[in-house]
Amino acid sequence: GIAIVIAAGGCTSGRNSSADRPSAQASSRAPSFSPGAPGAGDPYFPTYGNGGYDVGGYDLALRFDPGTGRLSGTATITATATQDLSRFNLDLAHLTASEVTVDGRGATSQAEGNELVVTPAVGLLKDRPFTVVVRYAGVPQPLANEALGEGGWFRTADGAFAVGQPESASTWFPVNDHPSDKATFKLAMTVPDGLEVLSNGVPGRRTNAAGWTTWTWSEGAPMASYLATVAIGQYRITTGTHDGKPMIVAVPASMPAGDPAAKSLARTGEVTDFLATQFGPYPFDANGGVVVADDRLDFALETQTRPVYGDTWFDDGENTSVVAHELGHQWYGNSLALERWQDIWLNEGFATYAEWLWREHEGQATVAESFDRTYTKFKDWSQPTGKPGPDGIFDAAVYERGAMTLYALRRAMGDTAFAGLLKTWAAQQRDGNVTTTEFIAAAQQAAGGTDLDPVFQAWLFGTTKPPRP
């Protein structure tokens, strides 16, 4: 949506009598209200997210009944208008809103596919904060994505879990579901006594009433919406501290303590410490991980502060590579989130490189050897790392060739400058959103006089095998 701003200079013009104009908010211009766009404008996924506002925080108070699969509760969303807004969309899939208020006043809402269209009683002025409260309920279901697999809320025998990329959050709360709009996240989840609830960030108070327990979690650093997670069920939770921060690891209660998954996740602190020597200080206030045993979860996801791991990662024994990968994302992908999905190599190339670093630290293979093995066996050079296509965001061109791109960059600029770049990139863009263009500029600055353009052209955008760096 485009807001047309009319400077009303001095301002006693007749426009002020518009019925839409909020009387309490003095302004030196006449507002021009228009609807927020139904998408955030991502070229790969145009319908994801919405325009016209920027969320600051989500505060969810929910109840889940495992017997019926029903989720119900209230989402309180604090946001700021980025244009004069007559109405705006939230993403909400398969769930029904029963009552919506904006700044305490009743608002009109209407479901349109997987969007909730909210029309406040009065227009919302650009740059002003507002609060939306949505009361909603339903039986959540995951979102299908033919090319990328399903994501979102999955019901299980004893509970549920919510995990997915590039979409997930809209299956369990009303949200601006695109990583460009990061926000803080608070969850109070009420479940029957005897079940555990894991989510992002720091644990808060736990209370009981009439056979139900409310668990609270809060993530205070800005978070992309697909990084929100919850796992409800019978889990064995290990609570500790690491570096003075809560370290919370959970595995299915039925999993033996000596299971390779439990042993791998027990090394989360150790892996974090190593990665901090490479990438700079760990960016969040909590850490940990959750193992979910469910056939539908055949991947791991770097959900903020608390990655979720499908248990198949550990079928062949202890696997700390996947732990290094998901923890690497806490810097690259989470603290530094994408502005658009096309640039996902900034997440996956770096996380794969984190695996290489960890393997070297473990004495298994040097980074040069990992590069070599990957370079030798890599087959399809026709798909550019920096432009993998919407169906290709999880392809080897993104993960493996992304990590090879970083190694080629390291060879071009030298070990010392490259090691510095990894840290300054993470420090300067902490809690932000990043693009490939910004990374290229940061690399060029770190490289001094060496022209990196040929490296980026060949490794990110070329369609043939680049020479060995």
Q: Where on the chain is the footprint of Zn ion (CB under 5 A)?
A: 348, 351
Nearest to Zn ion by Cβ — which residue?
351
Interacting partner of 142 out of ligand ARG, Zn ion, none (Cβ under 5 to 8 A depending on kind): none
- Residue 327 corresponds to which tokens in the numbers above? 């923890």
Q: In this complex, which beta carbon is closest to ligand ARG, that of residue 102 or of residue 397?
A: 397
Query: Cα angle vertex 381, ends 380, 383, to 5°?
Result: 90
Please state the closest distance from residue 4 (CB atom) to Zn ion, in A: 42
Tell the smallest beta-carbon distance from residue 300 to Zn ion (Å): 8
Strand partners, 430: none
Mapped onto helix, strand or coil, the DSSP state of residue 134 is strand
- List the beta strands (DSSP E) in 159-277: 160-163, 183-192, 196-199, 202-209, 212-223, 230-233, 235-242, 245-252
Q: Which of 103, 394, 424, 444 binds ligand ARG (CB under 6 A)?
A: 394
- Please check whether residue 429 is in contact with residue 345, taking contact to mean a CB–CB distance below 8 angstroms: no
Among 165, 225, 272, 303, binds ligand ARG (CB under 6 A): 165
Q: In this complex, which beta carbon is closest to ligand ARG, that of residue 145 or of residue 444?
A: 145
Least Å from the CB of residue 158 to ligand ARG = 24
Size of the site for ligand ARG (CB under 6 A): 12
- Rounded least distance, CB 264 to ligand ARG, Å: 14
**Which of these segments, 117-125, 146-154, 243-251, 404-412, binds ligand ARG (CB under 6 A)?**
146-154
Task: Tell me how long the chain is.
Answer: 469
Q: Which span (208-216, 220-228, 272-280, 299-307) binds ligand ARG, by CB under 6 A? A: 299-307
Q: In this complex, which beta carbon is closest to Zn ion, that of residue 216 or of residue 330?
A: 330
Residue 168 interacts with ligand ARG (CB under 6 A): yes or no: no
From Zn ion, ligand ARG, none, interface partner of 246 (C-beta below 5 to 8 A by class): none
Q: From CA 430, how far away is CA 437, in angstroms rounded?
A: 17
Instruction: Return the closest-CA partner of residue 345 out of 407, 269, 298, 294.
Output: 407
Helix (H, G, I), strand (E, B) or coil at 413: helix
Q: Which is nearer to ligand ARG, 30 or 322 (CB)?
A: 322
Q: Is 149 in the site for ligand ARG (CB under 6 A)?
A: yes
Least Å distance between CB 395 and ligand ARG? Answer: 11
Considering beta carbons, is residue 32 or 287 the nearer one to Zn ion? 287
Check binding of 151 to ligand ARG (CB under 6 A). yes
Q: Is 324 in the site for ligand ARG (CB under 6 A)?
A: no
By CB under 6 A, residue 330 contacts ligand ARG: no
**Which entry of Zn ion, ligand ARG, none binds 404, CB below 5 to 8 A by partner kind?**
none
Residue type, 408: A
Distance of CA 232 to the CA centre of its chain: 20
Only one of the segments 90-98, 147-155, 184-192, 216-224 lies at the binding site for ligand ARG (rule: CB under 6 A); that segment is 147-155
Q: Minimum distance from CB of 354 to Zn ion (Å)?
A: 9
Torsion of CA 240, 242, 247, 252, to 10 degrees: -70
Q: Which stretch, 181-189, 264-272, 294-302, 450-458, contacts ligand ARG (CB under 6 A)?
A: 294-302
Does 390 participate in binding ligand ARG (rule CB under 6 A)? no
CB 50, CB 37: distance < 8 Å? yes
Strand order in the sheet with 245-252: 235-242, 245-252, 287-292, 308-310, 300-301
First to last CA, the chain: 46
CB neighbours (10 Å) of residue 106? 11
Three-state DSSP at 371 gives helix
Specify the 3-state DSSP secondary structure of 41.
coil
Interacting partner of 299 out of ligand ARG, Zn ion, none (Cβ under 5 to 8 A depending on kind): ligand ARG
Residue 228 CA, chain-centre distance (Å), reads 6
Q: Which amino acid is at 430?
A: R
Q: How far is CA 402 from CA 30, 53, 367, 399, 407, in A?
A: 48, 33, 14, 5, 9
Q: Which residues bind ligand ARG (CB under 6 A)?
A: 148-149, 151, 165, 299-302, 325, 348, 351, 394
